[in-house]
Structure 1
Amino acid sequence: MNYKVALEAMHTFNINIKRKDNTMFDKKQNSFKSPDLHKMQEVIINARTRIYVEEGQDPEEAKKRYLERLENKRA
């Protein structure tokens, strides 16, 4: 095989690989809808931690559940 034919074969092979790579990794972006924090009630856990609950929920109950969950993670 002469040099020119080998070079042409490599070039064709590289183009085919590039085409496959581009189509293989084209993925749709996941979109997540964030809740509107203006419609939620802020619950202060401590100076650095705040959680948000829906307007009708009990903030003390939410705080208690959050702290219980945190204790279970530490144990």
Structure 2
Amino acid sequence: MYDRKHHHFSSPDLKKMQEVVINARTRIYIGSDEDPEEAKERYLSRMGVKP
């Protein structure tokens, strides 16, 4: 009667991304061609994020 769609979520391959350490507890992953310093600055500039 009702056919359910199967949800398929694929995670990005972390081997193809580079890790940026924000502080001891926080790490973010960005593309291999992006600038880590710029990504860190963008992350810290968001509202509510304390360095």
With the length of structure 2 as denominator, give the TM-score of the two structures. Answer: 0.79
Structure 1: which 5+ runs fail to align? 1-22
Aligned CA-pair RMSD: 1.3
Runs ≥4 residues deviating over 2 A: none
The structure in which a higher percent of residues are helix is 1
Identity over aligned pairs, percent: 62
The structure in which a higher percent of residues are strand is 2
Structure 2: which 5+ runs fail to align? none
Bigger relative contact order (CA 8 A; separation at least 6): 2
With the length of structure 1 as denominator, give the TM-score of the two structures. Answer: 0.56
Instruction: Specify the structure having the higher radius of gyration (Cα).
Output: 1
